[in-house]
Chain A
């Protein structure tokens, strides 16, 4: 066997940032975006007309496709998400673009593909010079439109992407917005891209659809071939290309079991979830995109534990009116039903809003965001409060205040909400009772949770931010990924403090970060006293299955030992050994934290 052939089949591994959880074994489907090879051909004088006609036909085809993409994006992602395709349509209709391309064909006697590429590159060069960050980014829209035009010139869209096989794993350098909206999601099992971050379009949509996704894989796209076997383990941020037989066997038993639990969950989904020792545990849904709404019922969520309301704003860059917001919240309440929905007030600022609205901050994660932003812009807070209060007349709604640092933030926000409540009452507008809770995600709030507990009706524990702030680690920064440890003893102690404070004050506490949706973590959290969780709804079945199989008293034993540990490594080692000894049927090796490789 030649050296080269050997390399082709050897198992290769990549680590990336898992932006949507899950585990899939499938076959690679490479999608081209960006670097499409275009060659120059010189055409005969006599063929110039024909070449121009080819270009116009391609524009018509691309336009038809875009109209379909736009309609689909409106349906699946919401009208506000689809506006970008309107800009793309206008670019295709732009006389300036088409005139430039046509005249290039004529003057240079070039083939249409080459003309499109040269004209687009010139435009992109002009955009690259623009000083405004947001406008400069529009270059990616021009690239998107150009790629579409080139596809159309080659006789159609990338048909392979439309008719996916059942086990297709999308592998791309980066997915442009329209490519994402166009994918046949019914059959796409997972997404893996070389570029991208936690807030990229790919990430948001993958989470919305509940399919695993890993980004930041550097050169996977170049190394993978369509049809290759691939394992996407987004629970651990790992990709395995050409997995060996041994690896495959390990993972395939894992996926089969998971699929079985999904089928079984459809029947048991509505029944109360009890642990072996008869403690009731609530599993609710985190919701952002309209695409996620369906999952609430499908996976048997007990209402909506966290509605990320800033979706209403960030997806279109403009603030929805009070009436528009009210309608959106009414819809959320209706989806949640009797169990109710918790609306998290706009978590704006920093990364969520980019540089355009907030002005560039040196350190957005520590900047003017969430409740700080709302208190600085009280009109925003007033409008949102009125909308929720009004919508609450039609269903069960709560408000949770994001990123409070201490009781002062809570009091200031409550005062404004109460003023609006009184105003609405005096205006004789129908409103409903709304409970007000605090998001505990800043370390100071976790430390001071007893005093905050006396001011609010409930706690929501945002574990993602709490871990990030407590350990001073940016979770999207690969270089410090080793320091991002959800099971760090400091995290567990903060969570315990907060859960204890809630219990003493007699208020509920809902855990709503990524930790909730990871079965092994959820068990530890139950051991620390949590009974209420909110997660991406597609995670509910597997958490449900595990929770139903454990004893709270056993979880408590393990959690108490974890609290005594000095390092995250020690906690993870303890979890591995205790879980596999006590519940071998619930936790296979790949569902537990992986041992750290010694370097």
Chain B
């Protein structure tokens, strides 16, 4: 199992568009992927948009990504780069 800490850098947080991107990306991999709030208050299956939206993860929230499976390394790389890139949102 691999894990990575990420911070939500885009201002809108994990809203519908960002969540959709996250889920679309996660479902491309075989691995089981979870997203968890660092404070342990909520965790989600990264392949379920409803579960991801329910994290209610706003701008600045710290999350732990974990992936387990054959392609776990690739999965965690791609997913954390989505967070790093702010889901394609640019700061105004």
Interface residues of chain A, those whose CB is within 8 Å of chain B, are: 83-84, 86-87, 90-91, 94-97, 123, 126-127, 130-132, 134-135, 138, 141-142, 313, 316-319, 321, 348, 356-357, 377, 379-380
B11 close to A357 (CB less than 8 A) = yes
Most A Cβ at <10 Å: residue of B12, B16, B56, B91: B16
B48 at the interface (CB under 8 A from A): yes
What are 8 pairs between A and B in contact, CB < 8 Å? Answer: A83-B20, A87-B49, A95-B47, A127-B54, A134-B12, A134-B15, A319-B89, A348-B92
| Residues in chain A near residue B24, CB distance under 8 A | 86, 90
| Residues in chain B near residue A90, CB distance under 8 A | 19-20, 23-24, 49
Closest A-chain residue to B15, C-beta based? Answer: A134
- In the complex, A17→B90 CA distance in Å? 35
- In the complex, A86→B10 CA distance in Å? 19
Residues 45-59 of chain B, each 1 if its beta carbon lies under 8 Å from chain A, else 0: 101111101101010
A87 close to B12 (CB less than 8 A) = no
B45 close to A96 (CB less than 8 A) = yes
Most B Cβ at <10 Å: residue of A83, A90, A132, A348: A90
B49 close to A91 (CB less than 8 A) = yes
- In the complex, A97→B47 CA distance in Å? 12
Having A83-B20, A87-B20, A318-B17, one finds 14 other A-B pairs with CB under 8 Å, namely A87-B19, A94-B50, A95-B45, A126-B54, A132-B13, A134-B15, A135-B53, A135-B56, A317-B12, A317-B15, A317-B89, A318-B87, A319-B92, A379-B92
Shortest Cβ gap from B27 to chain A (Å) = 8
CB-based closest 7 A-B pairs: A318-B89, A87-B16, A90-B49, A96-B48, A319-B90, A130-B56, A380-B92
CB contact between B20 and one of A86, A126, A127, A377 (< 8 Å): that residue: A86
A interface secondary structure, majority: helix
Interface residues of chain B, those whose CB is within 8 Å of chain A, are: 10-17, 19-20, 23-24, 45, 47-51, 53-54, 56, 58, 87-92
- In the complex, A124→B74 CA distance in Å? 34
Shortest Cβ gap from B13 to chain A (Å) = 7
CB contact between A132 and one of B17, B20, B50, B58 (< 8 Å): that residue: B58
A97 close to B50 (CB less than 8 A) = yes
B51 close to A356 (CB less than 8 A) = no
| Residues in chain A near residue B14, CB distance under 8 A | 135
A94 close to B89 (CB less than 8 A) = no
Task: Check A83/B16 contact, CB under 8 A, given A135-B58, A319-B92, A321-B90.
Answer: yes
Most A Cβ at <10 Å: residue of B17, B47, B89: B17
Shortest Cβ gap from A160 to chain B (Å) = 29
